[in-house]
Structure 1
Amino acid sequence: MYRAVILDLDGTVYIGSQLTPGAREGIETLRKLGFKIMFLTNNSMVSRRMIVNKLEEMGIAVNANEVLNSGAASAIYLKRRMNKAKAFVVGEVGLVEELFIQGHDIVSDYRQAEVVVVGGDRYLTYNKLLDAHRAIIRGALFVATNRDHALMVEDGPVPGAGAVVSYLETSTGVRPIVIGKPEKYIAELALELLNVTPEETVMVGDNVATDLELAKKVGMKGILIRTGLGSDKIPESVTYVNNLLELPKLLLSNP
């Protein structure tokens, strides 16, 4: 019996500033049916606080402990591994906020960096890449929030954190520790926060390569939603819904 639903955000619950069709109603129905919910996204440009504010502005009630993104998961990973790290950040304010919350120090001098944390960055400069490159080849731990090649926004996909990660991986020859989907760490953290097992949990998202692959890796049921990136051809044997309004009925018919 399924007890929890993990929902991707970008392309699943919303695209840019617009909810996907049936998202609000589908989520409300899941809550009425007693499902635990976790909103899980690879988007590290925003913090959990910013995600909560966005969802509430869209009319979706949410608690702060129901949100996890790759930036927060990266900060928690470093907290558990290093306790307090000196981090050089290639990313935006949301990622910096999550690192601060976990007690890490943000450094601007690459020579002081114990770790380089890389996320999506719409204000990326060559000098920032150069400093990150230099920190990594000096021995700083290389942590990637995620490898998403693109992020879905209202007018189509835009380059994601994975593009920046690939640049630095190529220039340094160092493989990063990747935290976000489809790596197991972020899923295991989400399950820990939900206090459920993989067998009790459904992962819903619009990306076969990240959302469904993550579900497969940890033993969760994966469901593709045909919004966002999932509007393309559906692979054989993949369970799918056209929108979140259809999800509760599917879960009730396949307990």
Structure 2
Amino acid sequence: MTYRGYLIDLDGTIYKGDEIIEAGRQFVYDLQARELPYLFVTNNTTRTPEMIQQMLAEKFAIQTPLSSIYTAVLATVDYMNDLGLEKTAYVIGEVGLQSAIWQAGYREDLEQPAYVVVGLNWQLTYDQLALATLAIQKGAVFIGTNPDLNIPTERGLLPGAGSILALLEAATRVKPTIIGKPEGIIMEKALAWLGTKKEESIMVGDNYLTDIKAGLDYGLATLLVTTGFTKAEEVAQLPVQPSHVLSSLAEWSFDEN
């Protein structure tokens, strides 16, 4: 099978924290040289797509068009707009999430917002958690940008947005609507953005619980690379095997798969 479209995770697949994964960078170069359509699909909500584009260029020497970056932030705003509730929100998140929501015409409400939106926040405080808890208890729609319990970094696996969501779910007994991988909301929009047929496309990532499960649940071929979250020794016990498993993207053959 020759795949004609690639949906690709970033952190843990192309880079890990502040360190490039050389095989990941070469993988992108190879896609560009072959003029194969690709889309970076990331659960990262701390950066805007423009910030991600700049980071890839300046830190990792990967030049990629803005249209090749699709984030859980973009999918979250689309979902909120589709619901059509009052445009008020309380947001826990970094600039990537905050700026996108405010630029979409929403205004902050600390008391009784229509939405509580939660992503990763490096400066998270107890007061922020308390405000979110109270708003959800009053009936705000509880949205989680992504379910990642951990994020792979050069320091190790750090708490991710999913860990914050788990705390708020325990405090409110309300399950959030998850936008990012592995949910179908982001996958449907990402594949439409990429513009290739489902049967000709493949999801590439390092995290079985998000990247690979997203592909499996959506009916895509999947490529798990064990450079980030999911380790090689865990593969045999996975409930559903990915289409392909590699220890490095350098092992991928574009012509033979």
Query: What is the TM-score when the length of structure 2 is the normalising length?
Result: 0.92
- Matched with 2:246 is 241
Mapping of 1:123-202 within 5 angstroms? 123-202=123-202
Deviations 1:221-247 (A, max 9, x none): 110112111333152444122223333
- Matched with 2:69 is 67
Offset, 1:31:
1.6
How many percent identity over aligned positions? 34
Supply the distance in 1 between the matched residues of 2:114 and 2:72 (Cα, whole angstroms): 19
- Matched with 1:12 is 13
Gaps of 5+ in 1: none
- Matched with 1:253 is 256
Deviations 1:164-223 (A, max 9, x none): 111111111111110011111111110011122221211110111111111111111110
Matching residue's letter, 1:39:
F
CA RMSD across the alignment: 1.6
> Which has the larger displacement, 83-92 or 178-187?
83-92
> Which has the larger displacement, 154-163 or 237-246?
237-246
Question: Does the Cα contact within 8 Å between 1:152 and 1:228 map onto a contact in 2?
Answer: yes
- Corresponding residue SS for 1:22: helix
Q: 1:102 aligns with which of 76, 101, 104?
A: 104
Supply the distance in 2 between the matched residues of 1:156 and 1:17 (Cα, whole angstroms): 12
Supply the distance in 1 between the matched residues of 2:81 and 2:54 (Cα, whole angstroms): 25
Gaps of 5+ in 2: none
Question: Does the Cα contact within 8 Å between 1:110 and 1:132 map onto a contact in 2?
Answer: no
Deviations 1:122-169 (A, max 9, x none): 111111111001111111110000111101111111100011111111
Mapping of 1:110-121 within 5 angstroms? 110-111=111-112, 113-121=113-121
Supply the distance in 2 between the matched residues of 1:21 and 1:170 (Cα, whole angstroms): 40
Supply the distance in 1 between the matched residues of 2:155 and 2:145 (Cα, whole angstroms): 24
Question: Does the Cα contact within 8 Å between 2:85 and 2:114 map onto a contact in 1?
Answer: no
- Matched with 2:44 is 43
* Structure 1 moving runs of 4+ over 4 Å: none
Query: What is the TM-score when the length of structure 1 is the normalising length?
Result: 0.93
Question: Does the Cα contact within 8 Å between 1:21 and 1:243 map onto a contact in 2?
Answer: no
Give the length in aligned residue pairs.
250
> Which has the larger displacement, 127-136 or 221-230?
221-230
